Amino acid sequence: MDLYSVTLEGPAPWGFRLQGGKDFNMPLTVSRLTPGGKAAQQNVGVGDWVVSIDGVNAEGLTHVEAQNKIKACTDRLSLTLSR
Protein backbone atom coordinates (compact mmCIF):
# COMPACT_ATOMS: atom_id res chain seq x y z
CA MET A 1 0.00 0.00 0.00
CA ASP A 2 1.85 3.01 -1.29
CA LEU A 3 0.37 6.40 -0.75
CA TYR A 4 1.44 9.14 -3.07
CA SER A 5 0.16 12.53 -4.03
CA VAL A 6 -0.03 14.31 -7.34
CA THR A 7 -0.97 17.82 -8.26
CA LEU A 8 -2.25 18.20 -11.76
CA GLU A 9 -2.16 21.66 -13.27
CA GLY A 10 -5.38 22.77 -14.83
CA PRO A 11 -7.44 23.16 -16.74
CA ALA A 12 -9.30 19.86 -17.29
CA PRO A 13 -9.32 17.32 -18.87
CA TRP A 14 -7.12 15.50 -16.43
CA GLY A 15 -6.76 12.41 -18.63
CA PHE A 16 -8.07 9.54 -16.50
CA ARG A 17 -11.23 7.50 -16.06
CA LEU A 18 -12.70 7.30 -12.55
CA GLN A 19 -14.55 4.19 -11.59
CA GLY A 20 -16.37 3.11 -8.44
CA GLY A 21 -17.94 4.81 -5.54
CA LYS A 22 -19.86 4.08 -2.41
CA ASP A 23 -23.08 3.50 -4.32
CA PHE A 24 -21.35 0.84 -6.41
CA ASN A 25 -19.75 -0.70 -3.36
CA MET A 26 -16.44 -0.34 -5.11
CA PRO A 27 -13.50 1.81 -4.21
CA LEU A 28 -12.81 4.80 -6.33
CA THR A 29 -10.15 3.70 -8.74
CA VAL A 30 -8.42 4.90 -11.86
CA SER A 31 -9.67 2.48 -14.48
CA ARG A 32 -8.04 4.05 -17.53
CA LEU A 33 -5.44 6.67 -18.44
CA THR A 34 -5.42 8.82 -21.53
CA PRO A 35 -1.95 8.27 -23.00
CA GLY A 36 0.07 11.43 -22.65
CA GLY A 37 -2.58 13.00 -20.54
CA LYS A 38 -1.91 15.05 -17.45
CA ALA A 39 -2.51 12.16 -15.11
CA ALA A 40 -0.30 9.89 -17.17
CA GLN A 41 2.41 12.57 -17.16
CA GLN A 42 2.29 12.62 -13.38
CA ASN A 43 2.72 8.85 -13.34
CA VAL A 44 -0.70 8.01 -12.02
CA GLY A 45 -1.27 4.28 -12.36
CA VAL A 46 -4.22 2.31 -13.70
CA GLY A 47 -5.97 0.51 -10.86
CA ASP A 48 -4.72 2.92 -8.23
CA TRP A 49 -7.24 3.84 -5.59
CA VAL A 50 -8.17 7.45 -5.04
CA VAL A 51 -7.76 8.13 -1.34
CA SER A 52 -8.41 11.84 -1.23
CA ILE A 53 -9.45 14.55 -3.59
CA ASP A 54 -8.17 18.01 -2.96
CA GLY A 55 -7.36 16.98 0.60
CA VAL A 56 -10.78 15.56 1.27
CA ASN A 57 -11.08 11.88 2.08
CA ALA A 58 -12.67 10.07 -0.83
CA GLU A 59 -13.84 7.11 1.21
CA GLY A 60 -17.60 7.19 1.45
CA LEU A 61 -18.14 9.38 -1.57
CA THR A 62 -20.59 8.23 -4.18
CA HIS A 63 -19.43 8.23 -7.79
CA VAL A 64 -21.31 11.42 -8.54
CA GLU A 65 -19.95 13.15 -5.42
CA ALA A 66 -16.41 12.24 -6.35
CA GLN A 67 -16.99 13.25 -9.93
CA ASN A 68 -18.38 16.63 -8.86
CA LYS A 69 -15.53 17.22 -6.50
CA ILE A 70 -12.99 16.64 -9.22
CA LYS A 71 -14.91 18.81 -11.58
CA ALA A 72 -14.90 21.59 -9.02
CA CYS A 73 -11.09 21.79 -9.19
CA THR A 74 -10.50 23.96 -12.19
CA ASP A 75 -7.01 25.40 -11.80
CA ARG A 76 -5.33 22.66 -9.93
CA LEU A 77 -6.25 19.14 -8.91
CA SER A 78 -4.58 17.57 -5.87
CA LEU A 79 -5.03 13.87 -5.42
CA THR A 80 -3.72 11.34 -2.97
CA LEU A 81 -3.64 7.86 -4.44
CA SER A 82 -2.68 4.39 -3.40
CA ARG A 83 -1.02 1.86 -5.59
Partner 1 sequence: MTHIETSVIYNDQEYDQYEYMVQEEEWDRDLLLDPAWEKQQRKTFTAWCNSHLRKAGTQIENIEEDFRNGLKLMLLLEVISGERLPKPDRGKMRFHKIANVNKALDFIASKGVKLVSIGAEEIVDGNVKMTLGMIWTIILRFAIQDISVEGKNYAVIFIQFKTIIWKDGLAFCALIHRHRPDLIDYSKLNKDDPLGNLNLALEIAEKHLDIPKMLDAEDIVNTPKPDERAIMTYVSCFYHAFAGAEQAETAANRICKVLGVNQENEKLMEEYERLASQLLEWIRRTIPWLENRTPEKTMVSMQQKLEDFRDYRRMHKPPKVQEKCQLEINFNTLQTKLRISNRPAFMPSEGKMVSDIASAWQNLEQAEKGYEEWLLNEIRRLERLEHLAEKFRQKASIHESWAQDKEKILSRKDYESASLTEVRALLRKHEAFESDLAAHQDRVEQIAAIAQELNELDYHAVAEVNERCQRICDLWDKLGTMTQKRREALERTEKLLETIDQLFLEFAKRAAPFNNWMEGAMEDLQDMFIVHTVEEIQSLISAHEQFKATLPEADSERQAILGIQNEIQKISHSYNIVLSLTNPYSTIKSEGISAKWDKVKQLVPQRDQALQEELARQHSNERLRRQFAAQANVIGPWIQKKMEEIAHSSIEMSGTLEDQMTQLKQYEHVIVNYKPNIDKLEGDHQLIQESLIFDNKHTNYTMEHIRVGWELLLTTIARTMNEIETQILTRDAKGISQEQMNEFRASFNHFDRKKKGGMETDDFRACLISMGYDLGEVEFARIMTLVDPNGSGIVSFQSFIDFMTRETADTDTAEQVIASFRILAGDKPYILAEELRRELPPEQAQYCITRMPAYTGPGKAPGALDYSSFSTALYGESDL
Chain Cα centroid distance, residue 10: 14
64 binds partner 1 (CB under 8 A): yes
Q: Which of residues 6-45 bind partner 1 (CB under 8 A)?
A: 12-14, 16-21, 23-26, 29, 31-32
- Minimum distance, C-beta of residue 15 to partner 1, in the bound complex (Å): 8
Distances (CA, A) of 78 to 18, 23, 24, 25, 64: 15, 23, 24, 24, 18
The footprint of partner 1 on this chain (CB under 8 A) covers a number of residues equal to 24
Cα–Cα dist 12/27, whole Å: 23
- Minimum distance, C-beta of residue 28 to partner 1, in the bound complex (Å): 9
Give the footprint of partner 1 on this chain (CB under 8 A).
Answer: 12-14, 16-21, 23-26, 29, 31-32, 46-47, 63-64, 67-68, 70-71
